[in-house]
Chain A
Amino acid sequence: MRINCPFCGTRGNEEFTVLGAADPVRPDADAPVPDWVAYAHARENPRGPHRDLWQHQHGCRAWLVVERDTLTHAVIAVRPARDA
């Protein structure tokens, strides 16, 4: 799989590590515990486009939001997480 890092250009996935879903938002400190449990553990598993958090660990070390099709493996869009 190749990912086009906005800073380094297109690179093979061996230069990156993946964390998981990019969409879950960290709850407020005083949100109920079930919200926190869902944030920490519960994930959707869609067939089709999915946004992941990847880090270009062996490159520029930028965290990226990669929109990727889980069925075809096509990388649809990549943007820096800090800009998201």
Chain B
Amino acid sequence: MSAQRWRLGEGGLIDRSRVLPFRFDERLLHGHPGDTLASALLANGVRLVGRSFKYHRPRGILSAGPEEPNALVELRGGARREPNTRATQVELFEGLEARSQNRWPSLGFDLGAVNGVLAPMIGAGFYYKTFMWPAAFWEKLYEPLIRRAAGLGRAPQAADPDRYERAHAHCDVLVIGAGPAGLMAALAAGRAGARVLLVEEDAALGGRLLSEAEEVDGRPGAEWAGAVEAELADMPRLRILRRTSAFALLDGGVVAAVERVADHLPEPPAHLPRQRSWKIVARRIVLAAGAIERPVVFGGNDRPGVMLAGAVRSYLNRHAVLPGRRAVVFTVGDDGWRSVADLLRGGAQIDAVVDARAEVPPEQAQLAARHGLRLVAGGRVTGTQGGRHLTAVRFADAAGREEGVGADLLAVSGGWNPSLHLACHLGNRPRWDAAIHAFVPGELPPGLVVAGAAAGRFSTHAALADGAATGLAAAQACGFDAAAPEIPRAEDAPRDAVPLFHVPGGRGKAFVDLQHDVTDADIALAHREGFRAAEHAKRYTTLGMATDQGKTAGVNGLAILARLAGQAISEVGTTTHRPPWTPVAIGAVAGPHRGRHFRPARHTPLHDWAAANGASFVEAGLWYRAQWYARPGEAGWRDSVDREVLAVRNAVGVCDVSTLGKIEVAGPGAAALLDLVYANTISTLAVGRLRYGLMLREDGFVMDDGTVARLAEDRFFVTTTTANAGAVLQHLEYCHQVLRPALDVSLLSVTDAWAQLSVAGPRARDLLAAVLDPGPDLSNAALPHMAWIAVRLGGVPCRLYRLSFSGELAYELGVPADYAEAAMRRIMERGASFGVTPYGTEALGVLRIEKGHPAGGELNGQTTARDLGLGRLVSTRKDCIGRRLAERPALTDPARPVLVGLKPADGRTPIRAGSHLLEPGVAAVTANGLGHVTSACFSPTLGMPIALALLSDGTARLGQRIRVFDPLRGGDLEAEICPPVFVDPQGERSRG
């Protein structure tokens, strides 16, 4: 077992009774429950954890939280491999496997370090000035090189094996963060009886209290937090979500959060998701997200061993790990001294405390004196030394004299930045608070308040008091009340500091953004090149654009820009804060809606019957429709489709057309509404009759077509195409509620109430007579073309409509959905002697192309009624949607493409939909295009390929030849232009 040589003998919030083996870069190491991967690595003495993005510099662990820019590892393997994972946020589990990134062949010896030598040529924005010449090199050399060099980690190639969920939560008060401020806010609001949701990013509640050696109410902070947690857990209307990051504030008081349900386990347990994303609707929000410590920018500040002073305390106090044995502490104020005290208690030797203040408060000066520490008041760290690890620190005193001291740990405290991101997601800018040298929230979004360190009030006492006050106020705003909770005793020490962000002129590169390798020189370059505004400098240098979104870089970058411009930081402004707060897995956003579940599926009532009878299905929007019904022995789909078409033309076929939209329009105003939406007149339709209806858009183009049946004086049954069913219902509702609100009309979709079966062919009438309950007169006189009657089938009330899409004698039988399958069985049984054949959408398509009926290819939103030969349908005697704009000259130009038919000149070469039409012999360029093929198929009835097309001057060109050109798929043939009806042009068969 590897010794955890840097683990302290006692203390920490870890379970020493269990040892967790894990691997980093194949090396077997050990930790305890309660460790993060980062703390466990430090306990095992692993300091080098990665190589930087551009220069491949050795990097170590800077922080102990989500702000970590350096310790990005590849976690797990195989399909679960997760690149760019912050080791500081990974909960250690048994068998964890992690690898460092961006290095080859190894972390210790990385050839990429040669980039450091090239550094002068690859500063900020170098790619705007390079890779341009010679142009031919781009595709073959530059791009492949850049792709290989770019990025940090490797994404897995295999499909994600885990499940993800989405969930919704509603509450009165949402408290974001369970540190001292958040715990008190939840307590206050919970005791008042409000419905409270407390969300905490960490696995444990307590926030900063878990990392500090301080007491609350006379006991250790973590213990106090545990007691509050116990009281909160007992509240029935209070819910705690831990391991949950609130990552966005959305409009309307909605917070998006992601719960890492199983990230801390080797595999998600059965029936649990890996992660769950939450949409939280809150009446009031208390943002108690704490603050993030700032480093200082100085030469060599990226070496492994340079760590934020607050993180040093986290490792010492929470994880019982000594991050270094010989430390130097560099602080801009009071805060770094807390690390001095904790390091001494942990047994480290402190070789110097460099305090940027010229005057150090007596208490701290005495602490240094008591322990014999070298105190450099008014000092600055100017550089570091060491290869893969810190070995020495150089500093200058107030007079500028430089010296060096050996060290393996440099704890840096540059101040604290309130985590106000969520308060700014809706565009509110933060404001600079000169008293604490940090940005605090400015104008707040409605219903959101900020408490504790997130508001710039850093002491524990202030956080507790803030939390209690804001939590109670939030509950009161929601109508609940109680006495405010007593504020427990806690430290309220001053946090005096000087505003030091940058030590210029040091030795070695001084990094501002560690993850993107942006140095102070890069910012100066941006300023020189004119990119001086914060938003410009960010994009030019890429500062703040990495996965850590500049959490430890942003303010220092602004400070450097401000100094270069001779402005105050408050004048430079900030960049825009946008969600997400930390990276969110796409899986969590998608939830269950992926793969087969990306969209719901819609099935007709006959779906299972069709599947059992050889149907192959096609997706038509959300619907599954039977394309054809294969029979044993058929070699391919053409065999099935040709057979089905001939069966309809010669005997009788039955097709499931249930997917077409069906809408009931009822009321005294129904006829008037339909006259408005249809181009032709509907109000004159008699009860018991049907009429074809053409619907236009207001701009004059055809929107949809269908049929209208008059069920009663004030009730109509409207059908639509499958694709437009939803749009037509929405359009009808719009025309009623917005355009004609005075009409008394009700609209109802009945698409799912009826299965609709098309029964078509010369034997259709005979078949129906055999299938329907005896009674109705089906003769041509009693039930003519375009009429309907009520019938019964096995006692079930159905409707029989006589209309024809195929051009044959045809009907549509409307059967209540529950009885569709029983009806179909009866049709197949009793229709056997007539040769009844089920047919699918392919045969349906062939039949209608043979008859020239427009469908999807023709109703493409760019055609008018005139184009489709339906101009006479547009009534001139009434207003309707689209009538006026359809009269515009460009839409009535005779040269517009109109619907024609095409037959290949050689009688057998297939024509493809989408092909272009050209005069034979002219150049095949767009300027010579005369139209295109809209629908095409092989016609078994004619024994040859046919097509429908939109052709300029189509009517005048009937009988001529046209070139059909398909460069994409290699088609080029001559076709004869004919009228768009290939079978039974007089329409006698459907009227018999």
Interface of A toward B, CB cutoff 8 Å: 1-2, 10, 12, 17, 19, 26-27, 29, 31, 33, 36-37, 39-41, 53, 55, 57, 61-63, 72-75, 80-84
Contact = CB atoms under 8 A, between A and B. Distances in A.
A61 B279 contact: no
Contact of B254 (A12, A41, A62): A12
B372 interface: no
Given A2-B253, A33-B885, A82-B738, 15 more contacts: A2-B252, A2-B254, A27-B884, A29-B879, A29-B883, A36-B884, A36-B885, A53-B738, A61-B733, A63-B738, A72-B426, A72-B427, A73-B251, A75-B252, A82-B741
Contacts of B427: 72
Contact of B737 (A26, A29, A62, A74): A62
Contacts of A29: 879, 883-884
A19 B734 CA distance: 10
Is chain A's interface secondary structure helix, strand, loop, or mixed overall? mixed
Contacts of B215: none
Given A2-B252, A29-B884, A40-B698, A82 B730 contact: no
B699 interface: yes
B754 to A, nearest CB: 20
B739 interface: yes
B957 interface: no
B888 interface: yes
Contacts of A81: 737-738, 741
Contacts, number: 60
B737 A33 contact: no
Interface string B875-901: 000010001110110000000000000
Interface string B241-263: 00000000011111000000000
A2 B733 CA distance: 22
Contact of B885 (A37, A74, A84): A37
Contacts of B251: 1-2, 73-74
Contacts of A73: 251, 426
Contact of A80 (B734, B737, B884): B737
A55 B699 contact: no
B613 to A, nearest CB: 35
Interface in B905-932: none
The interface size bin for chain B is: 20 to 34
B884 A33 contact: yes
Contacts of A26: 739
B218 to A, nearest CB: 45
Nearest to B729: A61
Interface in B734-776: 734, 736-739, 741
A82 B699 contact: no
A2 B251 CA distance: 7
Nearest to B428: A72
Contact of A57 (B252, B730, B741): B730
Closest 7 A/B residue pairs (Cβ): A2-B252, A29-B879, A63-B737, A82-B741, A82-B737, A73-B251, A1-B251
A83 B252 CA distance: 25
B734 A55 contact: yes
Contacts of A74: 251
Contacts of A39: 698
Contacts of B699: 40-41
Contacts of B254: 2, 12
A1 B733 contact: no
B222 to A, nearest CB: 38
Interface string B378-414: 0000000000000000000000000000000000000
Nearest to B736: A82
Interface in B329-370: none
Contacts of B279: 12
A80 B733 CA distance: 12
A79 to B, nearest CB: 12
Contacts of B737: 62-63, 80-82
Contacts of A33: 884-885, 887-888
A84 B252 CA distance: 25
A1 B252 contact: yes
Contact of B730 (A40, A55, A72, A80): A55
Contacts of B734: 19, 53, 55, 63
A17 B726 CA distance: 12
A40 B206 CA distance: 59
Given A1-B252, A19-B734, A57-B730, A40 B739 contact: no
B158 to A, nearest CB: 31
15 contacts: A2-B252, A2-B281, A12-B254, A33-B884, A33-B885, A33-B887, A36-B885, A39-B698, A53-B734, A55-B730, A55-B734, A57-B730, A63-B738, A75-B252, A81-B737
A12 B733 CA distance: 21
Interface in B210-258: 250-254
B37 to A, nearest CB: 37
A48 B426 CA distance: 15
Given A1-B252, A37-B885, A55 B698 contact: no
